Structure 1
Amino acid sequence: MPWYDLLLALLSFPSTIYLFVNYTEIVTRGGLPTTTDVIFGTLLIALVFEAGRRVTGWALPILAFLFVLYALFGRDLPGIFRHRGYDWDAISNQLFTTTEGILGTAIGVSATYIVLFILFGAFLAKTGMGQLFNDLALALTGHAKGGPAKVSVVASGFLGSINGSAIANVVTTGAFTIPLMKKIGYNKNFAGAVESSASVGGQILPPVMGAAAFIMAETLGVPYTDIVLIAILPALLFYIGILTQVHIRATKLNLSGIPRSELPRVIDVLKERGHLLLPIIFLIYMLFFSGTTVIFSAAWTIIVTIIVSFFRKSTRMSVKDFIDALENGARTTVSVAIACATVGIIVGIATITGFGLNLANAIVSIGGESLFLTLLFTMIACIVLGMGMPSIPAYIITATMAAPALVQLGIPPIVAHMFVFYFGIFANITPPVALAAFAAAGLSGGSPMRTGFMAMKLAIAGFIVPFMFVYNNEILMIGTTFMESFGVIITSVIGVVMLGIAAEGYLLGRLNVLFRLIMAGGSLLFLHPALMTDAIAVVILLAILLLQWLIRSKKKPPHTAEV
Structure 2
Amino acid sequence: MKEKEPATGGNPDELLAKYDKESAYRQNLGKWGWVVAFLAISLTVFHLWRALPTNGPLVFLLQGAVHLGTALGLIFLLYPARKTGIKKKGVPWYDVVLAFMSMGSIYYILFRYEWITGPARILGFETIDIVVATIGIILLLEATRRAVGIPIVIIAGLAILYGLYGTNIPYFGHGGFDWSGLARRLFYSSDAIFGTPIQISSTYIYLFLFFGVMLTKTGVGQYFNDLAFGATGRYTGGTAKAAVVASAMQGTVTGSSVANTVASGSFTIPMMKRARFKPEFAAATEASASTGGQIMPPIMGAAAFIMAEYVSSVSYSDIIIIGIIPALLYFASVFIGTHFEAKKQGITGLPKSQLPTMKGLLKRIDLLLPLVTIVYMLVSGFTPTTAALTGIATAFVISFFRKDTRMTPRDMINALEQGARVALPVIAACASAGIIVGIVVFTGLGGKIAGGLLNLAGDNLFLLLFFTMIACILLGMGLPTTANYVVTASMAAPALIAYGVPEVAAHFFVFYFGIIADITPPVCLAAYAGAGIARANPMKAGVTAFKLAIAGFIIPYVFVYNPVLVLQGATALTLIPVIITALIGMAAVSAAMMNYFVYKPYWFERILLLAGGIMLIIPENLPVELTGLALLIAIGLFQRMRKKRDEKNDPQTA
Do both proteins adopt the same fold according to a TM-score greater than 0.5, normalized to the shorter chain? Answer: yes
Cα shift at 1:318? 1.6
Do structure 1's residue 74 and structure 2's residue 162 form an aligned pair?
Answer: no
Counterpart-to-counterpart distance in 2, 1:238 and 1:206? 13
**Residue pair 1:216, 1:417 contacting (<8 A) in 2 also:** yes
Do structure 1's residue 540 and structure 2's residue 631 form an aligned pair?
Answer: yes
Do structure 1's residue 297 and structure 2's residue 387 form an aligned pair?
Answer: yes
Do structure 1's residue 323 and structure 2's residue 413 form an aligned pair?
Answer: yes
Alignment partner, residue 58 of structure 2: none
The unaligned stretches of length 5 or more in structure 2 are 1-90
Do structure 1's residue 188 and structure 2's residue 279 form an aligned pair?
Answer: yes
Alignment partner, residue 402 of structure 2: 312
Task: Classify the secondary structure of the residue corresponding to 2:252.
Answer: helix
Alignment partner, residue 297 of structure 2: 206
Counterpart-to-counterpart distance in 2, 1:435 and 1:361? 32
**Residue pair 1:194, 1:458 contacting (<8 A) in 2 also:** yes
Cα shift at 1:82? 2.8
Alignment partner, residue 492 of structure 1: 582
Alignment partner, residue 450 of structure 1: 540
Alignment partner, residue 11 of structure 1: 101
Counterpart-to-counterpart distance in 2, 1:276 and 1:481? 34
**Residue pair 2:283, 2:531 contacting (<8 A) in 1 also:** yes
The amino acid that maps onto 2:280 is N
* More off after superposition, 62-71 vs 125-134: 62-71
Alignment partner, residue 96 of structure 1: 187
User: What is the CA RMSD across the aligned residues, in angstroms?
Assistant: 1.8
The percent of aligned pairs where both chains have the same amino acid is 45
Alignment partner, residue 358 of structure 1: 448
**Which among 340, 346, 351 is matched to residue 430 of structure 2?**
340
TM (normalized to structure 1)?
Answer: 0.95
The amino acid that maps onto 2:481 is S
The amino acid that maps onto 1:249 is E
Cα separation, partners in 2 of 1:46 and 1:558, compared to 1, 3 Å: closer
* More off after superposition, 549-558 vs 239-248: 549-558
Do structure 1's residue 43 and structure 2's residue 135 form an aligned pair?
Answer: yes
Cα shift at 1:30? 4.1
Count of matched residue pairs: 557
The amino acid that maps onto 1:499 is V
The amino acid that maps onto 2:126 is T
Counterpart-to-counterpart distance in 1, 2:519 and 2:648? 44
Do structure 1's residue 349 and structure 2's residue 444 form an aligned pair?
Answer: no
The amino acid that maps onto 1:40 is V
Counterpart-to-counterpart distance in 1, 2:649 and 2:222? 50
**Which among 258, 263, 270 is matched to residue 362 of structure 2?**
270
Counterpart-to-counterpart distance in 2, 1:298 and 1:305? 11
Counterpart-to-counterpart distance in 1, 2:245 and 2:171? 47
**Residue pair 2:186, 2:192 contacting (<8 A) in 1 also:** yes
Counterpart-to-counterpart distance in 1, 2:144 and 2:391? 31
Cα shift at 1:466? 0.3
The amino acid that maps onto 1:18 is Y
- Aligned ranges 1:431-450 → 2 under 5 Å: 431-450=521-540
Cα shift at 1:377? 0.5
Cα shift at 1:166? 1.1
Do structure 1's residue 462 and structure 2's residue 552 form an aligned pair?
Answer: yes
- Aligned ranges 1:472-551 → 2 under 5 Å: 472-529=562-619, 530-551=621-642
Alignment partner, residue 249 of structure 2: 158
TM (normalized to structure 2)?
Answer: 0.82
**Residue pair 1:388, 1:428 contacting (<8 A) in 2 also:** no
The amino acid that maps onto 2:188 is T
Counterpart-to-counterpart distance in 2, 1:24 and 1:218? 27
**Residue pair 1:145, 1:256 contacting (<8 A) in 2 also:** yes
Counterpart-to-counterpart distance in 2, 1:99 and 1:107? 9
**Residue pair 1:525, 1:536 contacting (<8 A) in 2 also:** yes
Alignment partner, residue 60 of structure 1: 152
Counterpart-to-counterpart distance in 2, 1:274 and 1:483? 35
**Residue pair 2:592, 2:607 contacting (<8 A) in 1 also:** yes
Counterpart-to-counterpart distance in 2, 1:341 and 1:558? 66
**Which among 255, 272, 278 is matched to residue 347 of structure 2?**
255
Alignment partner, residue 172 of structure 1: 263
Deviations 1:23-46 (A, max 9, x none): 344345448543222111101101
Do structure 1's residue 401 and structure 2's residue 491 form an aligned pair?
Answer: yes
The amino acid that maps onto 1:408 is A
Counterpart-to-counterpart distance in 2, 1:384 and 1:194? 23
Cα shift at 1:183? 1.7
Alignment partner, residue 240 of structure 2: 149
Cα separation, partners in 2 of 1:207 and 1:482, compared to 1, 3 Å: farther
* More off after superposition, 524-533 vs 327-336: 524-533
Counterpart-to-counterpart distance in 2, 1:18 and 1:555? 77
Cα shift at 1:442? 1.4
* More off after superposition, 442-451 vs 225-234: 442-451
The unaligned stretches of length 5 or more in structure 1 are none
Cα shift at 1:294? 1.3
**Residue pair 2:502, 2:563 contacting (<8 A) in 1 also:** no
The amino acid that maps onto 2:491 is M
Counterpart-to-counterpart distance in 1, 2:246 and 2:448? 42
Alignment partner, residue 240 of structure 1: 332
Task: Classify the secondary structure of the residue corresponding to 2:348.
Answer: coil
Deviations 1:452-489 (A, max 9, x none): 22111111011000000001111112222345411212
